[in-house]
Amino acid sequence: MWLLIDLLLVGVFAVIGRLSHYGSLTLGGWWTTAWPFLVGTLLAWAALTATRRSPAAISSGVVVWLGALVGGMVLRQTSGQGTATAFVVVATLVLGALLVLPRVGARVRGR
């Protein structure tokens, strides 16, 4: 369940970014923004699986956050997309909130 939630939330991150910068949304535009972060998320999940960490743990959310962020930025840079400092800061904060806070909420609710 957490894998799907994480991928969905990373997709939402890309939607928010596209809408805030371009005022409209196309599938191609969304994909251009989303794919590096989705790949980073999947790489982080591979690490979680390899280490047998509980996906619901807050520390696992941190792993997914950092994987999505770092993997996404590296892939954006290597594919010729921008990694301006302001974008990195915003992506750090938004992805952190989207990928860690749901696990905090689940923990507080006892799930």
Q: Which domain holds residue 58?
A: 1-110
Return the closest-CA partner of residue 18 out of 78, 81, 75: 81
pLDDT at 107 over 90: no
Q: What CA–CA distance (Å, rounded) separates 58 from 69?
A: 16
pLDDT grade for 111, boundaries at 50, 70 and 90: low
How wide is the angle at C-alpha 15 spanned by C-alphas 6 and 93, nearest 5°?
60
Q: How many domains does the chain have?
A: 1
Mean pLDDT of the chain: 94
CB 103 within 8 A of CB 13: no
pLDDT above 90: percentage of residues in the chain = 83
Give the tens place of pLDDT for each residue, 28-62: 989 999 999 999 999 999 999 999 999 999 999 99
Cα–Cα distance measured from residue 46 to residue 22, given in angstroms and rounded to the nearest whole number: 33
